[in-house]
Structure 1
Amino acid sequence: MSANKGWWVPPEGEDNLSKKFLRKTRESPLVPIGVAGCLVIAAYRIYRLKARGSTKLSIHLIHTRVAAQACAVGAIMLGAMYTMYRDYIKRVSEDAEK
């Protein structure tokens, strides 16, 4: 039996979690922004749970979910628009100059 039976060591070529996260962030920077926005909105709405007044809890939670999803979808849309700009408009103008 091995002494390190409970520990898993990634293969040599794989990055650890923080390096992988930083690499993915450099590739598409709007994903972490969308996740952070989603978490901030959800945390704020849960914080405001006490001051919801006469609104039912289920309605408040639905509004929280919709606001958080809107932030995430907005970040995805901005990323898609930036990618389209970079791939089609910017590249076409660079090719025309050559």
Structure 2
Amino acid sequence: MTDPDKMTSAPQKPEIAPQWEESHGSKLWRKTKEAPFVPIGLVGLTGAVVMGAIKYKNRGQMTTSMYLMQLRVVAQSMVVGAMTLGVGYSLLSDYFKTSDSPKNG
């Protein structure tokens, strides 16, 4: 028949320990250095939302749904603009980094 030891022993996955423990603050700082335009986009988004909340009471005859739709467009344009600047910055930095390298030969 079957051996009971073979039935109960499943292959064990080795535990992979992290190389270092990273706090939330240090992880945020590292990610900010890797992609600096993401926090800039978040600050722009937050600024647009705060500005919209302050100007909400002075919207005049505009309906709330129309006002929120316009606010959404402004907030999204902040994030998309920051992402576009980030992509352009990374493309230019990669282009100039590779073109400045000395050639062997």
TM-score (norm 1): 0.80
Q: Which residue of 2 aligns with 1:94?
A: 100
Q: Which runs of 5+ in 1 are unaligned?
A: 1-10
Residues 12 and 91 of structure 1: CA distance in aligned 2, closer, same or farther (over 3 Å) = closer
- Distance in 2, Cα, partners of 1:87 & 1:12: 29
Between the two proteins, the alignment pairs up a number of residues equal to 86
Q: How far apart are 1:12 and its partner, in Å?
A: 7.0
Q: Which residue of 2 aligns with 1:37?
A: 44
**Greater Rg over alpha carbons, structure:** 2
- Distance in 1, Cα, partners of 2:66 & 2:22: 43
Q: Which residue of 1 aligns with 2:12?
A: none
Q: CA RMSD in A?
A: 1.5
- In the TM superposition, what are the counterparts of 1:54-73 in structure 2 within 5 Å? 54-73=61-80
Q: Which residue of 2 aligns with 1:28?
A: 35
- Among 84, 89, 96, the alignment partner of 2:91 is 84
Q: What fraction of aligned residue pairs are identical, expressed as a percent?
A: 37
Greater fraction of residues in helix: 1
Q: How far apart are 1:92 and its partner, in Å?
A: 3.8
Structure 1 residue ranges, 4+ long, deviating more than 4 angstroms after superposition: none
TM-score (norm 2): 0.75
